[in-house]
Amino acid sequence: MYTQSFNVPDSPGLKAVPDTVPAENPELLSRFDARIEADGKIEPQDWMPEGYRKTLVRQISQHAHSEVVGMLPEGNWITRAPSLKRKAILIAKVQDEGGHGLYLYSAAETLGASRGDLIDALHSGRAKYSSIFNYPALNWADVGVIGGLVDGAAIMNQIPLCRCSYGPYARAMIRVCKEESFHQRQGYEALLVMMRGTAEQRAMVQDAVNRFWWKCLAMFGPPDKDSAHSEQAMRWGIKRISNDDLRQKFIDATVPQAKVLGVTLPDPDLKWNEERQHYDHGEIDWDEFWATVNGNGPCNRERLATRVKAHNDGQWVRDAAIAYSLKQQAKASKEAA
Ligand code: FAQ
């Protein structure tokens, strides 16, 4: 169902690049504007305004960090998966998320960013990553909900990024979305199996949905009126659909899925609005969201400490790779001499 949104229209009236972009080089800028206006792709070798480059490095690196930190809550469950089949699926999924991080760091590098600097920014707490991964995965139902709901929200946000104006990001997103689609389905299927099980299993699923629902809605970012970057990112064709519109699409798609599953969504204000042809919903706790984004969620410190330890434990691999590469270079120049 998610791939059907590949052809969703852009939010209206936000295509042309505004006059407020400083004319760094009028001729190059007008060529860049024309390409954006024509819905063309900007490639790494093309000239681009500094603001465009910075916005992309910021968003792509935050996205990469989210994928890599996002391996942790589910990764904790690999050794405790309830069957060999679930373990094999979970290992594949967590490995995919690591792969997404690598495509995304590579896409950021095409913009001139250094991967080492980006990773330092994550490890020192300067860089952001998705709020959702600062909540714990307490039991096996949470693993299903992370697949079914968290990946569901992630795909809804990522499908429009397949049409991002920056070529390497857009192309990375096509593959990422295909893999995320499998992640969402395996999570939903795991939940369906639990819902057909015992009353205790059904209660676990409901409890996990209750804990994750609001956090998933917050993944789409602050309301449009408070979103610092949306307007410009949409003018540049980086973001195609606003935070609130994507959140609404996710709610509209998820309510019927919850019905099939047999769980209730924990929002007394969730009601179909005939006039809007959308579900109305209750207020998200934005104070809690900002506290989490700013480092004070339940697991922020633990997540960063785990990432830093993994990075430090892997230092010998990087050292060995560099030593090998230097040896190969020395051999090649000896042969050439
Ligand atoms: N968490 O002006 P906006 C996944 C920050 S991947 C933390 O609206 P923007 C796969 C934002 O960075 C999930 N911070 O910003 C998976 C900005 O801060 P800054 C990640 C957030 O960029 C599944 C400030 O608030 N996906 O889940 C969040 O236009 C399962 C102002 O906000 C992506 O990164 C948040 N939720 O829109 C893995 C997709 N929301 O930089 C494992 C690409 C906002 O000024 C298991 N990114 N902020 O300091 C995007 O589409 C956009 O960056 C948004 C935010 C929509 C996330």
Tens of each residue's pLDDT in the chain, 337 residues: 444 343 444 444 433 344 444 556 899 999 999 999 999 999 999 999 999 999 999 999 999 999 999 999 999 999 999 999 999 999 999 999 999 999 999 999 999 999 999 999 999 999 999 999 999 999 999 999 999 999 999 999 999 999 999 999 999 999 999 999 999 999 999 999 999 999 999 999 999 999 999 999 999 999 999 999 999 999 999 999 999 999 999 999 999 999 999 999 999 999 999 999 999 999 999 999 999 999 999 999 999 999 999 999 999 999 999 999 999 999 999 999 8
| Residue located nearest, by CA, to atom 5 of ligand 1 | 221
Q: How far apart are CA 167 and CA 43, in angstroms?
A: 5
The best mutation among 57, 66, 90, 151 to test binding of ligand 1, ranked by most ligand atoms within 8 Å of the C-beta, falls on 66
Q: How far apart are CA 128 and CA 59, in angstroms?
A: 9
List C-alpha distances in Å: 245 to 63, 174, 230, 241. 19, 21, 12, 6
What pTM, to 2 d.p., does this model score? 0.92
Contacts of 157 (CB under 8 A, 6+ apart): 219, 220, 246
Question: 254 CB under 6 A from ligand 1?
Answer: no
| Residue located nearest, by CA, to atom 33 of ligand 1 | 63
Question: 151 CB under 6 A from ligand 1?
Answer: yes
Q: Count Cβ atoms within 10 A of the Cβ of residue 103 and give its class: 0-12 exposed, 13-18 middle, 19 or more buried.
A: buried
Question: 263 CB under 6 A from ligand 1?
Answer: no
Structure tokens at 239: 């973001």
Q: How far apart are CA 243 and CA 218, in angstroms?
A: 9
252-281: b (≥16 Cβ within 10 Å) or e: ebbbebbeebebebebeebeeeeeeeebeb
Other CB atoms within a 10 A radius of the CB of residue 18 amount to 11
Structure tokens at 303: 């997540």
| Residue located nearest, by CA, to atom 23 of ligand 1 | 151
